[in-house]
Amino acid sequence: MNINKELDELLNDPMFEVSNTEETLFELTEAMKRAKEERKAADYVAQRRPCENFKDYEEGFRQVHKDLREGRRMLKKFTAKAMQEGHYYVASGVLVYLEKIVNPKKPQKGHITIDGRTRTIYENGMESDIKLHTLSKNVYTDGYIVTDSTAEDALAIEKAFEVTEKDKADGWIYVLSSLSENPEIAQVKDLYKIGFSTTPIEERIRNCEYEPTYLMDKVRIVATWKTYNMKTHSFETLIHQFFKAVQFHVKVKDLAGNEAEPREWFVVPLGIISKAVESIIDGSIVNYRYNPAFQVIEEVDVKRSP
């Protein structure tokens, strides 16, 4: 039996012939083609890939981290229409830079903002073309907006008091650093004492090496702010509660050998302290908290929009 001959005869059978009209039954209409392309686009998932020109962005990421540590930037909760080209965000604990929105599309039904593919750079050297709505959702779910950098004004805090001739200067907010050579203290980076005094700071610390509150050693004045109508107890309660998570715990002995544990020392960058003090003075401190993991001030208790 010739198998090849039988196959040829079978395939040439008129029963398998398809007319031109019948062939059109297998063609996709234009609407079906568009639907297929739309499904294909919807099924596309942005993949992260190495950013070939990451060197162009490295310094920007470093500067943002520096600004956050120094209190020149803060982390704010997501708000509608917040996503903008040229701005930084935090998504799933990673700092990202939204460089460009590619071919932005008008808002669709159910959305109030534009959409489109993006060029998003990640601080770990990767990039992706994640859709803007997806990036927005990631930032909204477990991320933050990084505020723009603000120049530090040495008089900003004093100006916040809006001093008039009726106001009375009542003291100083101060920040001190320890000059102790005790390794348990000297090796701690960003260790500061934050307090309030009704007497000039220089006079207040005159005998600091004999007082447990100053860790029984010399200290250096790092920053001071003159205050008006300040409620001492309220300030100290707020500032200590704000930095409670980074309170420095150490036990020292006074000249009589009695053990004490000072409560006004905190391990936190100086810029963050300055920003916190300013927020206490202008009353906005209730909207923020200190995030010790990121070493930044972040906004809380804000009504969030999807």
Domain edges within the chain: 49-146, 156-299
Question: Pick the residue with more confidence: 181 or 106?
Answer: 181
**Which residues have CB under 8 Å from 167's CB, separation 6+?**
161, 228, 229
55, HSE (Cβ side, Cα atoms, 13 Å): 2
Is pLDDT at 152 greater than 50 in this prediction?
no
C-alpha 87/C-alpha 105 separation (Å) is: 19
Nearest Cα to Cα of residue 181 among 206, 222, 215? 215
Cα–Cα distance measured from residue 93 to residue 129, given in angstroms and rounded to the nearest whole number: 19
Q: In the numeric block, which tokens belong to residue 210?
A: 């004999």
What is the predicted pLDDT for the residue at 43? 43
Question: Which spans in the chain are helix H?
Answer: 3-11, 20-23, 30-43, 55-69, 132-142, 156-160, 183-186, 201-204, 232-242, 270-282
Sequence-distant (6+) residues with CB within 8 A of 78 are 136, 139, 140, 143, 144, 145, 304, 305
> Span 191-203, mean pLDDT?
90
Q: Is the per-residue pLDDT at 161 higher than 50? A: no
User: If pLDDT is split at 50, 70 and 90, which confidence band does 217 have?
Assistant: very high
Q: Position 105: which residue type? A: K
Which range, 27-31, 280-284, 294-298, is most confident?
294-298
SS3 212: helix
Confirm if 144 and 75 have CB atoms less than 8 A apart.
yes
What mean pLDDT do residues 252-264 have?
Answer: 91
Q: Which residue has the higher pLDDT, 82 or 68?
A: 68
Q: What is the pLDDT of residue 158?
A: 47
Assess contact for 281 and 271: CB atoms under 8 A. Answer: no
Query: What 3-state class would DSSP assign to 223?
Result: strand
Weakest-pLDDT range from 59-68, 87-96, 156-165: 156-165
Tell me if 90 sits within 8 A of 139, measured CB to CB: yes
**Residue with the larger pLDDT of the pair 25 and 267:** 267
Mean pLDDT of 287-301: 86
Average pLDDT over residues 220-249: 84
Q: In one letter, which amino acid is 276?
A: A
Q: What is the pTM of this model?
A: 0.58
What lies within 8 Å, CB to CB, of 220 at 6+ separation is 176, 177, 178, 179
